[in-house]
Structure 1
């Protein structure tokens, strides 16, 4: 049985479900002021039950539900049922379903990102999948990276970025989509976006993109140059990370760290 293939089918199914419901969804507010919808909770429950059935020894870290954490588990699945719930609830296209996969050493080894209303054409959307030990697939075909610029021209970032950094130091274009996952993978899938900037958020807002980037040789570093890692604070205490994260090819990440130092 192809366990990861079965999970991928469910991720695609949940993307179709979220897409169909987007026009009529009603948002609600959590105690912390963040937005949640009934679609978030249904997708989270479906993904968690699927992973529990396919990978019964694995950890699951989800935005919408607490689960026990076993440090000896072979895999940890980090789920965001809808990354970009705010824009999703308003009808914007910049949202996705994200699953990041860590091994027992908390190293990213795989991911699935389904963005039905994003991508390179209307018919297919964007579905990135990389199983542990496998190749990166885009819409179930081998991923072919497009040519990229040699200069820092465009950045994707959070709408909160101006609160943390002097953006006037950057004289290029800024892209804000509403999903940190989509912003992080922009240097991978959009050839004129060279880097991404992430402000403090949670493991589920990072892991899917972090996995795909690092497995393709990109870097995900804190603004002090240290690599992003999965601590107990992120996985067990479910706290947000501290600082700023830069993502992209090593050349551009180094340039961003120096620019905003």
Structure 2
């Protein structure tokens, strides 16, 4: 068992813990008004500690804690202990544990997304995993594309996305779950969802899904066509990105640009 196997096993253990804790969880609030639970803190502490043990030279960027950042590190891990904390705290299923992996050049080279209450069956949940240099895996099996059609039919996005964009010109269906990571991986999982829209959020709301989409020749970029880059502002200063990020098939992203940009 290598370090990435141990990491994958830990994320699954943390997912089981989160499921068990969900029924009795209480909501707290950060200074910015976003929801925080004891589950976020427990998973954050446990996974960050193990990352530092398994990969002592790597950067660990997490939503819930600030750690030193070495710009010359060979790996950077970006952890969201619960992506979709609001829905998690209300007992809903649309949440996940997300871990993105960047290389020395800060390009996405891997990721893990574990959503134990979301997926292909009630018993399996959803575990997407791509180790650096390895193929994408879905529930321990090499990933097989699931899309029925690459042209845009449905979009996954946050319920508050219409505050930032107009959806009047889109006559298809909109899917809203509560987790931006689950929105982004929807084109990998759901055969009739080809694209996602991410309105301004943080690096940990993007990173876990990024490499997974790229591995299947999908697009992750700003609506103006510029690449999504992991800048100092995102990683060291922990600021939200500006603009709208589109992800999905090339066909879907091109169509979404005509819908959301005049």
| TM-score computed with the length of structure 2 as normaliser | 0.98
Per-residue deviation, 1:83: 0.1
Check the 8 A contact 2:167/2:259 in 1, yes or no.
Answer: no
Q: Name the stretch that deviates more: 147-156 or 212-221.
A: 147-156
Alignment match, 1:143? 143
Distance in 1 of aligned mates of 2:103 and 2:89: 33
Distance in 1 of aligned mates of 2:87 and 2:259: 30
Alignment match, 2:251? 251
Per-residue deviation, 1:250: 1.0
Q: Name the stretch that deviates more: 153-162 or 82-91.
A: 153-162
Alignment match, 1:112? 112
Can you list the C-alpha shifts for 1:38-81, whole angstroms capped at 9, x where unaligned?
01000000000100000000000000000010011110000000
Check the 8 A contact 2:152/2:251 in 1, yes or no.
Answer: no
Is 1:89 aligned with 2:89? yes
Equivalent pairs, count: 261
3-state SS of paired residue (1:167) = coil
Is 1:214 aligned with 2:252? no
Alignment match, 1:73? 73
Alignment match, 1:22? 22
Distance in 1 of aligned mates of 2:35 and 2:211: 26
Is 1:55 aligned with 2:89? no
Alignment match, 1:160? 160
Per-residue deviation, 1:255: 1.1
Distance in 2 of aligned mates of 1:142 and 1:188: 13
The ranges of structure 1 where at least 4 consecutive aligned residues each deviate by more than 4 angstroms after the TM superposition are none
1:118-197 → structure 2 map (5 Å cutoff): 118-197=118-197
Per-residue deviation, 1:160: 1.5
Check the 8 A contact 2:151/2:251 in 1, yes or no.
Answer: no
Distance in 1 of aligned mates of 2:190 and 2:143: 13
Distance in 1 of aligned mates of 2:69 and 2:120: 37
Can you list the C-alpha shifts for 1:5-39, whole angstroms capped at 9, x where unaligned?
00000000000000111011001001110100001
Structure 1 residues 104, 150: CA separation in 2 closer, same or farther (over 3 Å shift)?
Answer: closer
Check the 8 A contact 2:114/2:128 in 1, yes or no.
Answer: yes
> Is there any run of 5+ residues in structure 2 with no aligned partner, and where?
none
Distance in 2 of aligned mates of 1:147 and 1:225: 23
Structure 1 residues 150, 68: CA separation in 2 closer, same or farther (over 3 Å shift)?
Answer: closer
TM-align CA RMSD? 0.8
Can you list the C-alpha shifts for 1:162-208, whole angstroms capped at 9, x where unaligned?
11111111000000000000000101111100100000000001000
Distance in 2 of aligned mates of 1:28 and 1:61: 22
Distance in 2 of aligned mates of 1:147 and 1:183: 15
Distance in 1 of aligned mates of 2:150 and 2:184: 18
Distance in 2 of aligned mates of 1:252 and 1:196: 9
> Is there any run of 5+ residues in structure 1 with no aligned partner, and where?
none
Per-residue deviation, 1:150: 4.1
